[in-house]
Amino acid sequence: MNSKYIQILTLVIVFAGSAFVVFLYWTEPRTIAEVSVKGQVVLGTYTINRAEFDQGLGNFHRDEFIAARAAFDRADPQKRDAIVQFYTAYSYYRQGWGRISNDDALFRAGVEAADRVTAIEPNFRIADDSLKMKTAYELRAELDEGLKITLSDFNPLRLTRERK
């Protein structure tokens, strides 16, 4: 082989190898499978697993929230899809909601998921008529309200309120 081609090959190897090293140390994948997923994120070809999302959506509408979140996690392992993260946050809200008191741990997890939605897509709006809260801001406000203890919490009329 001509030495010129060998030297060009050297440069290609070094640039490609350096890019791979930077990618690994930047994205810090934890498994071999994550290397491929993070690679898709970097290249902009990352998409959610539609079948898992549909399964999660079915679970969500049947009020099987733990199963729904497991499916959403499988559908969007990198937590980069606003729709999936919105449903995840909503599932935390619905599961944690209580007529007398809310589950603070679930509500806090819901706040984190809602924040992810606004970080991904600030003007996000869901097109699902079965949900009363359409934006991440409404959901975040509801979750925040549920985490606070105020005088209105002791109002007996609260027992008549409905889950959104």
Partner 1 sequence: MTENDEKAIEYIDIEEIETVVEPRAGSIAVGKRFDTAPTSSAVPIYIVLPIVFLAVTTLGGMRLAADNSFIFLKPALICLVFAAVTLVLFFRSGLIAVDGWLSEGHTMLRNAANAAILITMFAATVQLFNSLLPEHGLPFWIVGFCFFWTLWNNLFANFDTQRLLRRLAALFGLAFVVKYLVLANLTAPEGTSWLQRMIENPGRETFTWLLDLPRYGPGTGYIQFFTLILYLIGLYLTPTSTKK
Minimum CB distance to partner 1, residue 43 (Å) = 19
141 binds partner 1 (CB under 8 A): no
Beta-carbon contacts of 132 under 8 Å, excluding residues fewer than 6 positions away, are 164
Considering only residues 61 through 90, tell me which ones interact with partner 1, judged by CB under 8 A.
none
Length of the chain: 164
Q: Which one of 2-10, 80-88, 121-129, 130-138 is the stretch in contact with partner 1 (CB under 8 A)?
A: 2-10
3 state DSSP class of 147: helix
Using the minimum distance from each CB to partner 1, give the nearer residue, 7 or 101. Answer: 7
- The values of phi and psi at residue 134, to 5°, are -100, -20
Considering only residues 7 through 46, tell me which ones interact with partner 1, judged by CB under 8 A.
7-11, 13-15, 17-18, 20-21, 24-25, 28-31
Using the minimum distance from each CB to partner 1, give the nearer residue, 23 or 137. Answer: 23
Using the minimum distance from each CB to partner 1, give the nearer residue, 13 or 51. Answer: 13
Angle at 125 between CA 61 and CA 88, to 5 degrees: 40
* Residue 90 burial (CB count, 10 A): 27
From CA 83, how far away is CA 121, in angstroms rounded?
9
Considering only residues 90 through 119, tell me which ones interact with partner 1, judged by CB under 8 A.
none
Beta-carbon contacts of 20 under 8 Å, excluding residues fewer than 6 positions away, are none
Using the minimum distance from each CB to partner 1, give the nearer residue, 2 or 150. Answer: 2
Whether 86 contacts 93, CB under 8 Å: no
Tokens describing residue 29: 């994948």
Using the minimum distance from each CB to partner 1, give the nearer residue, 8 or 141. Answer: 8
Minimum CB distance to partner 1, residue 88 (Å) = 22
Interacting residue ranges for partner 1, rule: CB under 8 A: 1-4, 6-11, 13-15, 17-18, 20-21, 24-25, 28-31
